[in-house]
Structure 1
Amino acid sequence: MCARLGVPRASYYRWLDHEESPTAARHRELTGLVKAMFDSSDGIFGHRMVHTKLSAAGVEISVGTVAAIMAENGWAAKRMRAFKRTTIPSDPDKVFADLIGRDFTSDTPGTKLVGDITYLRTGEGWLYLATVIDLCTRMVVGWAMADHMRASLVTGALAMARDRGHLAPDAIFHSDRGTQYTSREMGAWCTGNRVRQSMGATGAGTMPSPSRRSHP
């Protein structure tokens, strides 16, 4: 090893006999604590948050030391977008009329439903979740998840609601004006399954508040 690295054998033995200084030992200990806290956040915490969490746990360390340790090891916080767009407006000519008029209530299960798409951040990228909620029971009666936001995502959620008996003939399905809901694939699916499409005005929410109405 000494020959390969070009190091005198005497230097190796001096290093072997050298005891670690208290300062070096403390730095090594703190580096391990910083790494553990940084890793526990999946790489999201910056040096200030790591310092805050370590201080709360009783570790005596300055914010400058945390920053230095993270910098020397190349540990940088991941930057997350505060908002990920899931509604892409479609052609106004393809928008359906609002059949519920902001009345997010229903007396009969399976007759009036609402749908939406949200996103979930995972370690392997973004996943998109489409849901169908019955306005009578407030139950999620259908859902589908994929790594894309194509029309098949929302028709998959509706198909689950249909297959589980939660979709009555001529039911109203209310959504936003996103391209998934105004696509030909979505229109064909709804026509073939006797579902009437309804859409809210631009900027109006499609998901009702659970506090509007309660059910046993």
Structure 2
Amino acid sequence: MCRVLRVARSGWYTWCQRRTRISTRQQFRQHCDSVVLAAFTRSKQRYGAPRLTDELRAQGYPFNVKTVAASLRRQGLRAKASRKFSPVSYRAHGLPVSENLLEQDFYASGPNQKWAGDITYLRTDEGWLYLAVVIDLWSRAVIGWSMSPRMTAQLACDALQMALWRRKRPGTLSFTRTVEASTVQQIIRRN
């Protein structure tokens, strides 16, 4: 076959060996890709090429920014931008908003002095569920909760009723957010 193709036999065998052997460059790229992937995963996919390069150099790897960026591109990795937390507040709805009685003072010297409540939503297999929670700020214990597929005033009232039932009608109490003061007074009168 070498005679027909007019190729030296030694050249043919060298070419066959080269096809199956991984080159030094390919070995370096594989090593680089595995190291970059591990560092990218440790950073919770937040670091881009410059920060990953700094981290890898601190660990003793002699990679530059372009090498790390090329490795990220080869693997299809993109850093997620971390966003500043901004609390969701819909104050422009025109409805009455209950005042914040605690004024961000979450310290309580004993049980049943200050309670806090909030509503959040959770994704489940059946869809979204809303969870209303009441905690005692002294013990940080959840003392009342309620879940519903819809966010209604009744959801918050049920959580507050559970808290009142579990704590056997506390005397003086400050409650923050979620439920209007008039609703709280009505629930306390009923219990």
Shorter-chain TM-score tier: 0.5 to 0.7
**Count of aligned positions:** 169
Q: Cα–Cα, structure 1 residues 82 and 62, in superposed 2: closer, same or farther, change >3 Å?
A: same
Partner SS state of residue 114, structure 1: strand
Give 1:193's aligned residue.
187
For normalisation by structure 2, the TM-score amounts to 0.60
User: Does the 8 A contact of 1:110 with 1:166 survive in 2?
Assistant: no
1:64-213 to 2 correspondences below 5 Å: 64-89=66-91, 91=93, 94-97=96-99, 109-116=111-118, 132-135=134-137, 137-142=138-143, 150-151=151-152, 158=160, 161-162=163-164, 164-165=166-167, 168=170, 171-175=173-177, 180-181=178-179, 188=183, 190-191=184-185, 193-194=187-188
Highest RCO, 1 vs 2 (Cα 8 Å, sep ≥ 6):
1
* Change in CA separation of 1:172 and 1:61 when aligned onto 2, cut-off 3 Å: same
Alignment TM-score, normalising by the size of structure 1: 0.55
**Aligned counterpart for 1:42 among listed residues 41, 44, 53:** 44
Instruction: Specify the structure having the higher radius of gyration (Cα).
Output: 2
In the alignment, residue 79 of structure 1 is paired with which amino acid?
Answer: A
Greater helix content: 2
Change (3 A) 1:70 1:103: closer
RMSD of aligned alpha carbons: 4.5
Tell me how far apart the structure 1 counterparts of residues 72 and 155 of structure 2 sit (CA, whole Å). 41
Alpha-carbon distance, 1:84 to partner: 3.5
| Alpha-carbon distance, 1:34 to partner | 0.6
Note the residue ranges of structure 1 that are not aligned, 5 or more in a row: 1-9, 121-126, 196-216
Report the more deviating stretch, 99-108 or 75-84: 99-108
Q: List alignment gaps of at least 5 residues for structure 2.
A: 1-11, 123-128
